[in-house]
Amino acid sequence: MWRFVAGKRWRAIREFIYGVYGYEFERQAVEMRGELESAFMLITLGDMLGLPVMPPIYSLRVLPYVMPEIAKWKRRVTRERDLSDKEEFHLHGV
């Protein structure tokens, strides 16, 4: 019983410390990864949206690797956005 209670406390302390120090870094890393993936997809497969950037032969070479992500990418790129959608414009602590 004692180990179970001590384990729950230790886990709660670890999660609290992670929330204080690590959560914001993780969210920023996820957003940055999404932006880089969008830029990569736009450069390689931009002709799907009417923006020819690269010759189609290179796009065809990359196509088998990015095929599972194309539907999500199209939705993310064509989604209507506001200027304040970016994380850096959020008012932390206000």
CB 49 within 8 A of CB 78: yes
* Separation of alpha carbons 16 and 8, rounded Å: 12
Q: How confident is the model at residue 21 (pLDDT cuts 50, 70, 90)?
A: confident
Residue 83's pLDDT is 59
Please state whether the predicted TM-score (pTM) of the whole model is above 0.75: no
CB 89 within 8 A of CB 82: no
Q: How confident is the model at residue 92 (pLDDT cuts 50, 70, 90)?
A: low
Residue 94's pLDDT is 47
At 32, phi and psi to the nearest 5? Answer: -65, -40
Q: DSSP per residue over 79-94, as a string?
A: S---GGGSGGGS-TT-
Residue 39's pLDDT is 84
Average pLDDT of every residue of the chain: 77
